[in-house]
Structure 1
Amino acid sequence: MKQTECTTILVGKNATIDGSTMIARSEDGGRVIIPESFEVVNPADQPRHYTSVISKQKIDDEDLAGEVLRYTSAPDATREKGIWAAAGINSANIAMTATETITTNARIQGVDPVLDPSEGGLGEEDFVTLTLPYIHTPEEGVKRVGYLLEKYGTYEMNGMAFSDNDHIWYLETIGGHHWIARRIPDDAYVVAPNRLNIDEFKFDDPDFMASSDLKELIETYHLNPDKEGYNMRHIFGSSTIKDAHYNNPRAWYLHNFFNPEFGGQPGDQDQPFICYANRRISIEDIKWAESSHYQDTPYDAYGDQGTPEQKKTFRPVGINRNFETHILQLRNDVPAELAGVQWLAFGPNTFNTMVPFYTNITDTPTCFKTGSKFDLKQIFWVNKLAAQLGDTNYRVYGELENDFEQKSLAQCHKIQHETDRAVKGLSGDELVAKLEEANKQMAELVYQNTVDLLGSMVNEGHGLMTLKYDLLD
């Protein structure tokens, strides 16, 4: 299972550069490479009988009945430990990303412990598949996940987000069967690392939702350490040395990127959940943030400011264990049929670029359909190879990557603008075909750009090899 990984970023419509909502997450793993794919689940392909692979939890058929919407997903290519659909946008233009692994504490685990997988329960492998095809609003997403948690339970602590073109909700699981959720203010952004993130909570406010008995549970079992109010991070989360090194520094660094007046120290335990940037946030800002590794600080593994010890002090956002990163964007300046865009990148974020795929489609480009074995015809593996070569000498290869990313993003933006104009007046199958054609064009362009990047890195690295001998040396 993927544990203690991922970094979530949420941006409300009044905080973005174009008035869209954006929910993003890097899907990270462990020491073993987990190849990720990009697929569409059409209604006929949605499972009507479902059993979790990890926990063997069987879902009642009644919970899979009713209307099923088409949706995009970024599943694990092998399916060895389940689907792990990760993120997508459905045909009602509702986006979902799941999940962000988060923390807990002994107090709540003594009251409502997470299940052992041998006991059943749901986990990251399940949530998108069991939720996204059945919802028409972000609120419905929150309520459906809450229902599933209360009925089946969970064996891990997770955070997840839902959005439409108007607003964003963020949900966190509490113990084995409880949950909390908060609507993100339209003018705010959120950075959520691998800890319980929701802080201030109001039980009598429509912008907050929770398990019906949660307030009573807090009072009955004396779970609140604060004298006034409800801070869910204090009540249910952690404040550990691991948080100070693994989680808090990522949030601190990105807060200072989005708002240099934020200040503070990397290990600060009480960084706010809801934050406000000093500018409107763009796709490029989020991609940079998801690729960041403490640049211009002593903590940058690629930098020249810190000691060897400092370079290993804090976990960065951009890391070798990034296997898939998405930005789910719902736009407000185009017709609804064009509004959903799943920006997608595979591999470590220091050496890849995002591709803005339209989600009103029935199929995805071939080179983004990843197989389980190393294959240089698939962009996942080309990206992984480029990152591992680039990591050997970031000072040399980093500028090549920056040029590649700027070029690719500009070309994709151009195709997207041209497509938005070209499909005006189209509908139905004709529109879907044009959007799939644009997706294919962008995918093949970025694939070729990535191959070209790899070629440039080989050319630059030729003269830097240690195994060489020249009469002029």
Structure 2
Amino acid sequence: MKQTECTTILVGKKATIDGSTMIARSEDGGRTIIPERFDVVMPGDQPKHYESVISHQKIDDADLLENPLRYTSAPDASGKNGIWAAAGINSDNVAMTATETITTNSRIQGIDPLLEEGGLGEEDFVTLTLPYIHNAREGVMRVGYLLEKYGTYEMNGMAFCDKDEIWYLETIGGHHWAARRIPDDAYVIAPNRLNIDEFKFDDPDFIASQDLENLIAEYHLNPDLNGYNLRHIFGSSTIKDAHYNNPRAWYIHNFFDPDFGGDPSDQDQPFICHANRKISIEDIKWAESSHYQDTPFDAYGDQGTPEQKKTFRPIGINRNFETHILQIRNDVPEKIAGVQWLAFGPNTFNSMVPFYTNITTTPASFQTGPKFDLNKIFWLNKLTAQLGDTNFRVYGELEADFEQKSLAQCHKIQHETDKEAENYSGDELQDKLNEANQKMANTVYNNTVELLGNMVNEGHSLMTLKYDLLD
């Protein structure tokens, strides 16, 4: 069940094109399809008693704080393995994405091993954190408290943002953790490895378990001559990292800054980076959909050998089940500042929808069920992606046109709604935003049906099973 294939992208407010903070992640899985849905959790629906499905960890009722906030989430549709809320924005315009599966090493595992019984995991963190925090830094402290009290059975990274700050936290062993604030003018690419490098224990932009610095000293964990690099101390530097993790970061670094250069397998690519331009929603979506285009490593390309095309794990992949960009805007009133851009299915054949999060319901087409249903955008996107994969050279251009058209139409609806929202507040405003979300969901759903029809028309004459007297 563990979703181990994610890619996280974080962009500070001075690095984005519109001055918003953005935290994004593709929530990927394994060989089994994991349908995802889009929900809004009202305060009365937040659990008053909680027990993890996987680990059976019970949470003290006192830790399920009173007066939880409303929040959006993208949980697993079946719920059989727990909630797995994944990502959302609460009514105080604080966003959280959790989690990015990361790596560890035997040195820290010999000191603070991951729990074999009990503890929290990806299944739990959003549900136990997002309704109770009022800024990004509080998110770090809340998760830190939960980790120290209940522990964890897996290594994870997670991110939080409000209108001003972005924080990224990584778990360390069974009960320890570290987090750092992302500079406003910087971006981060975090694949499935421990990512935080430089760490300063005497700087307020860095927070960690109270005893972490002493633990490093006591057990002689620091291999560096100067300073602290948490990736060197607590992470890995393996052949798997060189093929599975590092190339994803390398490719996007070169997309955001063509002068970055470097080698795909480089184990020491920097955590904090700066782009050569302001980063847009479209840039992040493209990055989350990427598969090493214009390199020998592109599975759909014509530059590489069959072996090269299988060398590195791409970001856009069949195991993308849900991808989000959580955006807190600074150029609009707070009542419409939170936007959860959301797409289901493989990112090579889908489009993001910018859902307002000051809402009371979600569109029916995004309320996915566990069984195949073409009335739900998740299953429709899976179908278009699997058909598109049979001949990307033919279908790829159709997808590019579809995505540009869909994003343009959603932007237009969003611009119109932003202006109209000035005249609304309270329940009337939420009704207006529910209506806008429904309109955007309908637009993208209908465009996806049209894309599928265009793919069928184009593919008709390309089938192998054909015979024509004129052939």
**Bucket of the pairwise TM-score, normalised by the shorter protein:** over 0.9
Query: What is the alpha-carbon distance in structure 2 between the residues aligned to residue 366 and residue 3 of structure 1?
Result: 25
Q: Which runs of 5+ in 2 are unaligned?
A: none
Give 1:248-287 correspondences, 5 Å limit. 248-287=246-285
The corresponding residue for 2:436 is 438
Amino acid at match of 1:314: F
The corresponding residue for 2:65 is 65
Query: What is the alpha-carbon distance in structure 2 between the residues aligned to residue 145 and residue 422 of structure 1?
Result: 37
The corresponding residue for 1:145 is 143
Amino acid at match of 1:79: G
Give 1:159-178 correspondences, 5 Å limit. 159-178=157-176
- Percent of pairs with identical residues: 82
Q: TM-score, normalised by structure 1?
A: 0.99
Give 1:16-95 correspondences, 5 Å limit. 16-95=16-95
Amino acid at match of 1:110: G
Q: TM-score, normalised by structure 2?
A: 1.00
The corresponding residue for 2:408 is 410
8 Å CA contact 1:2–1:28 kept in 2: the answer is no
The corresponding residue for 1:194 is 192
Name which of 230, 233, 237 aligns with 2:235. 237
Query: What is the alpha-carbon distance in structure 2 between the residues aligned to residue 55 and residue 44 of structure 1?
Result: 25
Amino acid at match of 1:312: K
Matched, 1:466 2:464: yes
Query: What is the alpha-carbon distance in structure 2 between the residues aligned to residue 286 and residue 431 of structure 1?
Result: 29
Query: What is the alpha-carbon distance in structure 2 between the residues aligned to residue 307 and residue 65 of structure 1?
Result: 56
Amino acid at match of 1:192: A
Q: Deviations over 1:342-371 (max 9, x none)?
A: 000000000000000000001100000000
8 Å CA contact 2:290–2:348 kept in 1: the answer is yes
The corresponding residue for 2:336 is 338
8 Å CA contact 1:9–1:192 kept in 2: the answer is yes
Query: What is the alpha-carbon distance in structure 2 between the residues aligned to residue 230 and residue 169 of structure 1?
Result: 19
Structure 1 position 4, deviation (Å)? 2.9
8 Å CA contact 2:65–2:132 kept in 1: the answer is no
Structure 1 position 66, deviation (Å)? 1.6
Structure 1 position 5, deviation (Å)? 1.0
Q: Which runs of 5+ in 1 are unaligned?
A: none
The corresponding residue for 1:228 is 226
Q: Deviations over 1:198-242 (max 9, x none)?
A: 000000000000000000100001111111100000000000000
Partner SS for 1:132: helix
Structure 1 position 11, deviation (Å)? 0.1
8 Å CA contact 1:13–1:20 kept in 2: the answer is yes
Query: What is the alpha-carbon distance in structure 2 between the residues aligned to residue 183 and residue 141 of structure 1?
Result: 12
The corresponding residue for 2:108 is 108
Structure 1 position 3, deviation (Å)? 4.3
Structure 1 position 2, deviation (Å)? 2.1
Query: What is the alpha-carbon distance in structure 2 between the residues aligned to residue 258 and residue 346 of structure 1?
Result: 24
8 Å CA contact 2:4–2:30 kept in 1: the answer is no
8 Å CA contact 2:98–2:158 kept in 1: the answer is yes
Query: What is the alpha-carbon distance in structure 1 between the residues aligned to residue 302 and residue 37 of structure 2?
Result: 36
Structure 1 position 295, deviation (Å)? 0.1
Structure 1 position 407, deviation (Å)? 0.1
Amino acid at match of 2:138: E
Give 1:197-216 correspondences, 5 Å limit. 197-216=195-214
The corresponding residue for 1:317 is 315
8 Å CA contact 1:322–1:349 kept in 2: the answer is yes
RMSD (CA atoms): 0.5
Amino acid at match of 1:87: A
Query: What is the alpha-carbon distance in structure 2 between the residues aligned to residue 274 and residue 423 of structure 1?
Result: 36
Matched, 1:130 2:131: no
Structure 1 position 167, deviation (Å)? 1.0
The corresponding residue for 2:453 is 455
Query: What is the alpha-carbon distance in structure 2 between the residues aligned to residue 218 and residue 48 of structure 1?
Result: 38
Amino acid at match of 2:329: R
Structure 1 position 264, deviation (Å)? 0.2
8 Å CA contact 1:16–1:282 kept in 2: the answer is yes
Amino acid at match of 1:84: W
